[in-house]
């Protein structure tokens, strides 16, 4: 069973199975700063677990 992370329709492999999904999100936020406040949605595809990172929409000001 593999974990895959999806952001903007791009699939990223699991950097370390020992990391929590929040730790992986923080690691990816180094490259995609908008992920700091992203929501993580979990889906299952066969035996794989997909984690979709979705930017939260907010208001400025």
What pLDDT is stored for residue 60 in this prediction?
A: 61
Could you tell me the pTM of the whole model?
0.84
What pLDDT is stored for residue 11 in this prediction?
A: 95
CB 4 within 8 A of CB 13: yes
Per-chain mean pLDDT for the chain = 91
Average pLDDT in the 2-16 region? 94
Average pLDDT in the 18-44 region? 94
Q: What one-character-per-residue DSSP string does 41-58 give? A: EEEEETTEEEEEEEPPP-
Residue 3 to residues 6, 17, 21, Cα–Cα distance (Å):
10, 8, 9
pLDDT digit string (tens) for 35-57?
999 999 999 999 999 999 998 87
């Amino acid at each position: 069973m593999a974990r895959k992370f999806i952001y903007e329709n791009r699939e990223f492999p699991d950097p370390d199975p020992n990391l929590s999904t929040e730790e992986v999100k923080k690691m990816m936020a180094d490259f995609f700063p908008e992920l700091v406040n992203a929501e993580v949605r979990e889906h299952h595809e066969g035996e794989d677990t997909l984690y979709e990172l979705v930017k939260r929409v907010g208001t400025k000001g």
